[in-house]
Amino acid sequence: MQDDGSAKGMNASLEKHWEKIAVVAVLAVLVVYIGAKAFGEGQGAAKVIIQLKEQVERQKNSDNPTVSGPPGINVGAPAAPTASVPLKNKWINSHRPPHFVEIVEIKDVELSFLPPDMHLDGTSVEVDGVEITWSVAVLAPEAGVKQVPLKPETLFFIIDRRMKDKNWETQVQLKLKEMVDAKSMKDAKEFKGLKYKDGKTLPKSDYEYRITMGSDDNQYRAKVGSGKTARIIGPVAIRTLGLFEFAQNFSNIQGADPDAVPPKDAQVYIKIVKYDPEYGKVEWAGIHKVGDKIGWSTEEDGKTRTSKHLVPTSKRGQRQALVDFDTGAEIKDIKTDQVVVYEYKACQPNVNGCTGPTAVKDQYKVNRVQYIDEDKVQQSFEVPSGMGKRADYFCELHGGAAAPVKSPEEKKAEIEASAQELLEKADKGWKSEKASDKASAQKIYKELLLPPYSDTQVVKAKRSEIETRSKEKLK
């Protein structure tokens, strides 16, 4: 009974799926037939199945040349959204890849900016501080170079300052559009005479200044957070003025004369310039002696010493002011005719040539003032009391200048000038009451003017008078 049931169930299943079974049978016969044709009988079918399976696996695991994989992506900046790419039916042997994507590479185009040129025009140091002047010129991009010029209205300047051996400190940030008027900003290609005035300086101090150009351009700020550019002026070294100047203003130096009645002290006349914060540049001068403080004088009572003097001013509405000239300096010594020994070099050419410059020892005399300056440092001022030093002399063979060649006109002018000088000297002596002066004058007329200068216009004009005086018998 059981066998009959099983047979009936199997028959029903075959009846239900007979179409599928028939298709599988046909495929099997076909595979066997292809294998027999390709590889012969026997194991041909199995070999075909195995090779087809391996080929499919290889193709499935190999790179698809129709599919571009994702390249390296620059994560430095967010990429713009890209348009979706429709999938293409480029599958391998009816096998669709699990991921089919075409990536469009977005290149981050880096902008190149061109800041204007900038250069220093000059510096000035006044009593009220330091002034720096500079200029800016807009540049055009070079041919073939993609550059974005920074617009003048976005520019600013950072002014840094430091004292000697100190760190930089920012003083101010100036905007170009606030330094020039709106009319000048429009379409201008150059901005001249830009100025910064530093009125917070110490006297007689060493400073350095630096100017850095920057831009508030949004795109440039996105690239360079600080906005600074590579356009920099400096460091520019400047020394501020002291309150007083007198180091080169010594004159009329006189030595002591103890034998005079009454004895005379050594003295010097000094002009003092003060850069007064209130009155500007003012001057006072006076006589100083050894031991005196520079800038002080004795009042009319002959006893009271003071450093405050009434002087003219350039201040509007105030022609004179009482200004303090206490420099803090003091005269230590005053000497005249002090011998100074030195050497100079000189060539001594002769008819045989020149052997070259040799050292020559010589001496000259100076008048000297020694003093302690406002910084408590000993200083010395001296000026020659006679001819002073001889300058080095080199002949033409050893680097010296060639003797100047005078034109005929220059030579003639020199001869006329010499004749005039001799004539004036002779005329002056001829008018003298002294017999010796008159005799000297007659000798000039007779021997120096006639005949050496007889052809000059000076002598021709007074020839008759000169001949008469040269022949006159003197008493």
Residue, of 18 and 162, whose pLDDT is higher:
162
CB 193 within 8 A of CB 137: no
DSSP H or E segment with residue 346: strand 330-346
> Is 291 a domain residue?
no
185 and 228 assigned to the same domain? yes
Tokens of 189: 């290609």
pLDDT bracket for residue 110 (50, 70, 90) = very low
What does pTM read for this prediction?
A: 0.47
Indicate whether 393 and 430 sit together in one domain: no
Sheet holding 117-126, edge to edge: 117-126, 129-137, 190-198
Confidence (pLDDT) at 132: 96
Q: Are residues 442 and 464 in the same domain?
A: yes
Q: Are residues 234 and 126 in the same domain?
A: yes
Tell me the mean pLDDT in the region 361-382: 94
Task: Identify whether 180 is part of a domain.
Answer: yes
Instruction: Give the domain range for residue 233.
Output: 113-239
Question: DSSP per residue over 433-471, as a string?
Answer: S-HHHHHHHHHIIIIIITTTTTTSHHHHHTHHHHHHHHH
Name the more confident of 387 and 134. 134
Residue 278 within any structural domain of the chain? no
End of a domain among 205, 239, 273?
239
Please tell me whether residue 188 adopts helix, strand or coil conformation: coil
Amino acid at 49: I
Asked if 422 contacts 448 with a C-beta cutoff of 8 angstroms, the reply is yes
253 touches 366 (CB < 8 A): no
Reported as a pLDDT band with limits 50, 70 and 90, residue 296 is: very high
Helix (H) or strand (E) holding 253: strand 250-254
Q: What is the pLDDT of residue 114?
A: 92
Strand, helix or coil for residue 331: strand
DSSP 8-state code for residue 290:
T
Distance of CA 474 to the CA centre of its chain: 77
Give the CATH number for residue 187.
2.60.40.10
Same domain, 419 and 349: no
Is 178 domain-assigned? yes
| Residue 378 maps to a domain | yes
Domain assignment present for residue 446? The answer is yes
Work out the percent of the chain whose per-residue pLDDT is above 70: 77
pLDDT (0 to 100) of residue 230: 92
CA distances from 241 to 190, 247, 276, 330, 372 (A): 32, 13, 11, 20, 18
Please count the structural domains in the chain. Answer: 4
Residues 460 and 363 in one domain: no
Q: Which pLDDT band holds residue 29 (cuts at 50, 70, 90)? A: low
CA–CA separation, 147 vs 304, rounded Å? 75
Q: Answer yes or no: is pLDDT of 99 > 80.
A: no
Residue 305 lies in a domain: no
Q: Decide: helix, strand or coil at residue 257.
A: strand
In this structure, the answer to whether residues 386 and 417 fall within a common structural domain is: no
Residue 383 contacts residue 253 (beta carbons within 8 Å):
yes
Q: Are residues 118 and 218 in the same domain?
A: yes
Verify that 383 and 435 share a domain, yes or no: no
The burial of 130, by beta-carbon neighbours within 10 Å (0-12 exposed, 13-18 middle, 19 or more buried), is given as buried
Q: Please name the residues in contact with 221: beta carbons below 8 A apart, sequence gap of 6 or more.
A: 215, 227
Q: Is residue 39 located within the same domain as residue 154?
A: no
Type of residue numbered 157: F
Confidence of residue 39 (pLDDT cuts 50, 70, 90): very low
